[in-house]
Amino acid sequence: MSSTTKRSSITSPKAPTSDPTAPTVQVEFGGQKVNVPKDGYYDRYRMNPNLDEVARDPAVGPNIDFFRNVPKKLVDTRVGQIYAPNFYYRTTSVQIVFLAPLDNLKSKLPSPLEPITALPGYGLVALTFYSYLVCDNDPYKEVSIAIMVRQPGKNSYSVTQILSSIWNRTFYGYVLALPVDTEIARVRGVYGYQLPKWLANINLEMENEKITADIAAIDGISDLKLEVPLPALKGFPSQSSITTNNAINKIDGKWCQVAVQANALLAAQVVLPWNVKLSRGDGPLSKLLNELGVSTILRMDVLKDAQMVLNMPTPLEGIDEAKL
């Protein structure tokens, strides 16, 4: 899909955003006490929603068949019994994919993970801003920096793996940073998935033909700021364009992967975008991008309207670490 595609006439319903002044209630998750919005999705459903009620929520949209095809189950996890997978009924995101020197990437990856080679001497780093407008654990925002890695257990050439990933819409990455802006999202990520999450101030807007995003430390120190024109968007029938991102990490000393399926409804992709303005500050994400040595932007992926399913970790059993 190119940036010259005619702008779709499809628009997404206005979804609610988190309001820090709204009333909250205290709940317990994984042995931690956190505040969540009163009468919000978590307060009402505890991650086991009535999908017929969800379908009547004007902020969600008319079609939630994607979730009806993924039954929830009560599962045992490292934070106790919870209903899984986690549903994100309306999301937006913007992802920037950079080239970065392989040596820099290898220094950030635990053995035996290996960065995938995009060009001789260079691998790929993805910076993604997310806004989860309606989801099982209430609205929040998130920023991810991940190194794209070779698929575990596959010994094929990097070029073959990249082409296969693009064709199958299935990608693998190692997450280096994943700050969020609500406490329940931090607790879920740290205690449930052992992911590098911390609290930060995060914004993402796609309005007036422009994408703006930023993240700052909770003490106000500026980190990253992104500005780019909103590219031409294309509408997709539900479940016709599903991408799976697999986050690989160690949980309690064992290699696992966490699959996230994204059902694109209104999206765009731009190859070699020239008009991306990314400003770096003094925060941890800026420092991380500097250490990774990111350079040329290869691609920008925009999801103006999408649905997502976050699965529980699954072990990577029977894999020879020497051949990962």
- pLDDT tens for 126-157 read 999 999 999 999 999 999 999 999 988 777 66
pLDDT at 62: 76
pLDDT at 19: 62
Answer whether residue 58 is part of any domain.
Answer: no
pTM, two decimals, is 0.91
Report the amino acid identity of residue 318: G
Retrieve residue 239's tokens: 């479940």
Q: Is the pLDDT of residue 250 over 70?
A: yes
Answer whether residue 42 is part of any domain.
Answer: no
pLDDT at 316: 85
Q: Is the pLDDT of residue 16 over 70?
A: no
pLDDT at 166: 73
Dihedral of CA 123/129/131/135: which sign?
positive
Alpha carbon separation from 242 to 54, 166, 307 (Å, rounded): 21, 12, 9
Q: Is the pLDDT of residue 318 over 90?
A: no
pLDDT at 319: 53
Answer whether residue 54 is part of any domain.
Answer: no
The helices-and-strands tally (H runs, E runs) of the chain is 8, 17
Answer whether residue 104 is part of any domain.
Answer: yes
Query: For the residues 116-120, what does the mean pLDDT come to?
Result: 92
Closest to 210 (Cα-Cα) out of 277, 149, 307:
277
Q: Is the pLDDT of residue 21 over 90?
A: no
pLDDT at 237: 96
Q: Is the pLDDT of residue 5 over 50?
A: no
Helix (H, G, I), strand (E, B) or coil at 285: helix
pLDDT in tens, 52-83: 999 999 999 879 999 999 999 999 888 888 99
Q: Which residue has the higher pLDDT, 229 or 112?
A: 229
Please state, rounded to an integer, the average pLDDT across all residues of the chain: 89
Q: How confident is the model at residue 32 (pLDDT cuts 50, 70, 90)?
A: confident
* CATH number for 101: 2.40.400.10
pLDDT in tens, 165-224: 776 788 999 999 999 999 999 999 999 899 999 999 999 999 989 999 999 999 999 999
Q: Is the pLDDT of residue 35 over 60?
A: yes
The total of structural domains in the chain comes to 1
Phi-psi domain of 194 (left: phi exceeds 0; alpha: psi -120 through 50; beta: other): left
Q: How confident is the model at residue 10 (pLDDT cuts 50, 70, 90)?
A: very low
Answer whether residue 1 is part of any domain.
Answer: no
Answer whether residue 129 is part of any domain.
Answer: yes
Alpha carbon separation from 170 to 63, 160, 243 (Å, rounded): 24, 13, 6
Residues forming a β-bridge with 34: 27
Dihedral of CA 24/27/29/31: which sign?
positive
Answer whether residue 7 is part of any domain.
Answer: no
**What is the span of the domain harbouring residue 166?**
85-323
Answer whether residue 239 is part of any domain.
Answer: yes
Largest CA distance in the chain: 54
Q: Is the pLDDT of residue 292 over 90?
A: yes
Q: Is the pLDDT of residue 4 over 90?
A: no
Helix (H) / strand (E) element for 134: namely strand 122-135
